[in-house]
Amino acid sequence: MKRFIMLSAVVAALLCSCSQPENDLREITDKVFGLAKIQYAAMDAALAEDAFPKTTDAEGNLKTSDIGWWCSGFYPGSLWYIYEYTGDEAFRDLAWKHTRRMEAMKDRHTDHDIGFQINCSYGNALRLTGDSTAIIPTYVQCARKLADRFTPAAGVIKSWDFLRNDWRYPVIIDNMMNLELLTVAARLSGDASLADVADSHAKTTLRNHFRPDWTSWHLVDYDPETGDVRYKETVQGYAHESAWARGQAWALYGYTMMYRETGDREYLEAAENIGDMLLGKLPQDGIPYWDFDAPGTPLRDASAGAIMASGFIELSTLTADKEASGKYLDMARLQLRTLASDEYLAEPGENGNFILKHSVGNLPGKSEVDVPLSYADYYFLEALVRYSSL
């Protein structure tokens, strides 16, 4: 499909961004990880034994969840990134402490988000420690729990168990992020069927979730017996036909990851088209509105910006198009600089000990609006680590 033409305002912003000295991003990264050490050590001290950080309440105090909340793996994952960048053994110990708490997921009733929960915690632990004996059995068992949610007739993994609006088999674009659990587990276990499930889900989603302009619906509901598409909706965005920003971020990151995992060029082409679409929609500072089509002056979503930045960095290393690679990387630089500005970066001891301010969870549901979120921090730290490794 024809690639998108970038808006002149965004191109101007990118030119401004890439003209800044490169060493400022190293200084920014050092500053952010210095803050992260302060915030996340204080977070550990504030957490009850069975609690995980979630967001803040109306007074700015820390709100927590139990292990079943879909975000429970992001805190241990962030601790692993702090350890990776700083080399501070105290954070390796903290990362192990909170990762081991995730082991209970293998024996719990779960949904599709087990991919987030386990890959961010145990996946980073395996990547950074190589401790296969302690990690692989739990990792593979959790991947099989995710694969059990796959229905061959539909060709996709079911996302939510709750059914409303006459849904029968709802699948959300977020589910692309959970496929890495399957592809990695397939290599670790030798069970190719896990990778086959991931590939089927990604291919089916590619056929059904995207509009001609490469924006994505949030949810597609399937008939589980026939695989027919029943509904297409945007549950957490402004309107069904609108481009909910975090959904577009999941799509960019998910298809970039699937190309890295499989080498299938169909996934690379999808990621490039999604990336080009985003370059044409992002505001001049690179941080998306919570929904690109929301009227008025909508809220920004730092979480979507952080996810996009991480996705853009990886995509810049995978595409063979040098011009596109430069544009993706320039946008990521711009997004990282903006997120590290006073507008988004917390002061030590503030913001419930989270790193980033101004994320939007579910505005239509009046949940987590203009607050810190654990996954915003996770993907921000991941993006900075990825950039520092280039």
| DSSP H helices in the chain | 8-19, 23-46, 74-86, 89-100, 114-118, 124-129, 132-147, 179-189, 192-208, 245-262, 265-279, 302-318, 322-339, 374-388
In this structure, are residues 314 and 257 in contact, taking their beta carbons and an 8 Å threshold? yes
Tens of pLDDT, residue by residue over 239-262, are 999 999 999 999 999 999 999 999
Residue 11's pLDDT is: 46
Selecting among 24, 57, 113, 370, the annotated active-site residue is 113
The span from the CA of 18 to the CA of 333, in Å, is: 7
Q: Where are the domains of the chain?
A: 1-46+264-390
3-state secondary structure of 326: helix
**Percentage of residues in the chain having pLDDT higher than 70:** 94
Residue whose C-alpha is closest to residue 301's, from 365, 360, 251:
360
In this structure, are residues 349 and 361 in contact, taking their beta carbons and an 8 Å threshold? no
Q: How far is CA 238 from the centre of its chain?
A: 20
In this structure, are residues 188 and 139 in contact, taking their beta carbons and an 8 Å threshold? yes
Residue 351's pLDDT is: 97
Specify whether 44 is catalytic. no
Q: How many residues does the chain have?
A: 390
Residue 276's pLDDT is: 98
Residue whose C-alpha is closest to residue 154's, from 173, 169, 174, 172:
169
**Domain 1-46+264-390, architecture per CATH:** Alpha/alpha barrel (1.50)
Tens of pLDDT, residue by residue over 258-297, are 999 999 999 999 999 999 999 999 999 999 999 999 999 8
Residue 20's pLDDT is: 57
In this structure, are residues 130 and 139 in contact, taking their beta carbons and an 8 Å threshold? no
Q: What is the pLDDT along the chain (390 residues), one digit of tens a residue?
A: 444 444 444 444 554 555 455 679 999 999 999 999 999 999 999 999 999 999 999 999 999 999 999 999 999 999 999 999 999 999 999 999 999 999 999 999 899 999 999 999 999 999 999 999 989 999 999 999 999 999 999 999 999 998 888 999 999 999 999 999 999 999 999 999 999 999 999 999 999 999 999 999 999 999 999 999 999 999 999 999 999 999 999 999 999 999 999 999 999 999 999 999 999 999 999 999 999 999 998 999 999 999 999 999 999 999 999 999 999 999 999 999 999 999 999 999 999 999 999 999 999 999 999 999 999 999 999 999 999 999
In this structure, are residues 73 and 120 in contact, taking their beta carbons and an 8 Å threshold? yes
Specify whether 342 is catalytic. no
Selecting among 111, 174, 199, 330, the annotated active-site residue is 174
Residue 21's pLDDT is: 58
3-state secondary structure of 361: strand
Q: Which two tokens stand for residue 298?
A: 């909508």
